[in-house]
Amino acid sequence: MKTRILLLNFVIAGALYLSAGAGNSGDSDVGQPLVPTAEDLARVAQVRKTDAEWKARLTPEQYLVLRGHSTERACSSVLLLEHRRGVFRCAGCGAPLFASDGKFESGTGWPSFTKPFVPGNIVIAEDHTLGMDRSEVLCARCGGHLGHVFDDGPPPAGKRYCINGLALKFEPRP
C-alpha cells in the first residue's frame, strides 16, 4: 500500500512538473538574479517563543511542520506552482531563506531550491529519524524545521533543498 501511495505521489508530482512547464518557467527567470538587500542580510536576534506562543502564531499545519518536524503531503503546497520573482521567507519568523531564481521543478512534490538566498539564515543538522540518514534544513533564526537537503540537485552545486511549503511565505519582488 505504501508503495502505491508513493508511486501515486510521484505520478502527481510529474503531472505538476509538466503542467508547470517542466522547469523554471514564468517570471522568476526573467531579468537579473535577485540580490539580498541590506535588510535581508541584517542579522536579526534569535526568535525564541514558548510552545503556546508558536501555537498562537502558526496554523496547526504550520506548527506540525515547523515545530514538530513533520512533513506536508507531497504535491499539497500552492508554492509548487509559484514562479513569480521574489523571496521565500520562513513562515515562523520571516527570515529570507530562498529566492525564486534558485527554485526549480524537481518532480518530488515539494518546493525545491538549488541554494539558500542568504546562506547564514539556514542551518544543516543531522537527521536520523525514520531509519534514514539525512541532512535537515532548519531556520537559523527561529530553529523551525524547513525540510531536507540532498545531493541530487542540478549543476553546478548539485544540491536540492527540498522544503515544506507550509514552512514558507512568498514575498513577490520586482
Rounded Cα distance between 124 and 120, Å, is 10
Sign of the dihedral defined by the CA atoms of residues 134, 90, 142, 119, in that order: positive
Which is the catalytic residue, given 75, 90, 142, 162?
Answer: 162
Active-site residue flag, 142: no
Question: What count of residues does the chain have?
Answer: 174
107: left (phi over 0), alpha (psi -120 to 50) or beta: left
**What's the start-to-end Cα distance of the chain, in Å?**
45
Q: Name the residues annotated as catalytic.
A: 162
